[in-house]
Amino acid sequence: MSAPLLAATGLTKSFGPTAALRGASVAVDAGEVLAVMGPSGSGKSTLLHCLAGILPPDEGEIWFSGQRVNDLTEPRRSRLRRERFGFVFQFGQLVPELPVVDNIMLPALLSGGRISAARSSALALLDRLDLTGLGGRRPGELSGGEAQRVALARALITRPAVIFADEPTGSLDSVAGELVMDLLVDRAREQGASVVLVTHDARVAAFADRHVTVRDGRVSALAAA
């Protein structure tokens, strides 16, 4: 069997006296959609942020495509996040001052892409996500579902190997949430990307190939989704 694309073993992470992770281990295969479930405060988001190289763990190992992520310097982790990872968060976290098309282009430009190529890719993604004609609007002029689709386009523009999604439907109604999840999974599979999806909603987890449950900072269950 081939090694997983992304794997973590024995992760611990504390914030002051509060232990968020207590020996968490998880692995994600190339092209797999993995749901990370658990109640609020269980350590789901901390696990995702460690896997993505945003937070360094206190102990443990994180491996991505044969390299140990938590041995990398912060500049190298930042480059990894820009070039190989994509991110979709609960509230989109779009830049409010920038029009939609520029929000989508941003990761490509930060990775050294040409403006013309980035704009062309951004407009193509808008078309694919049924957002044609909205490129000139500001995020404040979008509905919640539209903003999440823009965030998804931004996550996809660099064709990442892994997409990290932290409660991506948490601020949406059920109809908009299902649409966003359909698009997330479809586009990720189209690009061959893996997805690490943090959620407490079983309906969202149902879109995944597999799910793990985090409780009290530990991955305590593994089951087919």
The tens digit of pLDDT for each residue in 159-168 reads: 999 999 998 8
Q: What confidence tier does 221 reach under pLDDT thresholds 50, 70, 90?
A: low
- Give the mean model confidence (pLDDT) for residues 203-221: 89
Q: What confidence tier does 81 reach under pLDDT thresholds 50, 70, 90?
A: very high
- Give the mean model confidence (pLDDT) for residues 210-223: 82
| Distance set, CA 219 to CA 38, 52, 74, 118 (Å) | 9, 17, 26, 39
Contacts of 108 (CB under 8 A, 6+ apart): 117, 118, 121, 122, 157, 158
> Is 34's pLDDT higher than 60?
yes
Q: What is the mean pLDDT of the chain?
A: 91
Q: What confidence tier does 1 reach under pLDDT thresholds 50, 70, 90?
A: low
Place of tokens 């990307």: 193
Q: Residue 225: its pLDDT value, please?
A: 44
- Give the mean model confidence (pLDDT) for residues 63-72: 93
Q: What confidence tier does 151 reach under pLDDT thresholds 50, 70, 90?
A: very high
Q: Residue 191: its pLDDT value, please?
A: 87
Residue ranges of alpha helices (H) inside 3-87 are 44-51, 74-84
Domain residue spans of the chain: 6-224
> Is 180's pLDDT higher than 90?
no
- What CATH number matches the domain at 6-224, 3.40.50.2300, 3.40.50.300, 3.20.20.140, 3.40.50.1360? 3.40.50.300
- Give the mean model confidence (pLDDT) for residues 16-35: 94
pLDDT above 70 covers a percentage of the chain that reads 96
- H/E segment holding residue 188: helix 174-191
pLDDT above 90 covers a percentage of the chain that reads 70
The tens digit of pLDDT for each residue in 86-108 reads: 999 876 689 999 999 999 999 99
- Give the mean model confidence (pLDDT) for residues 8-30: 95
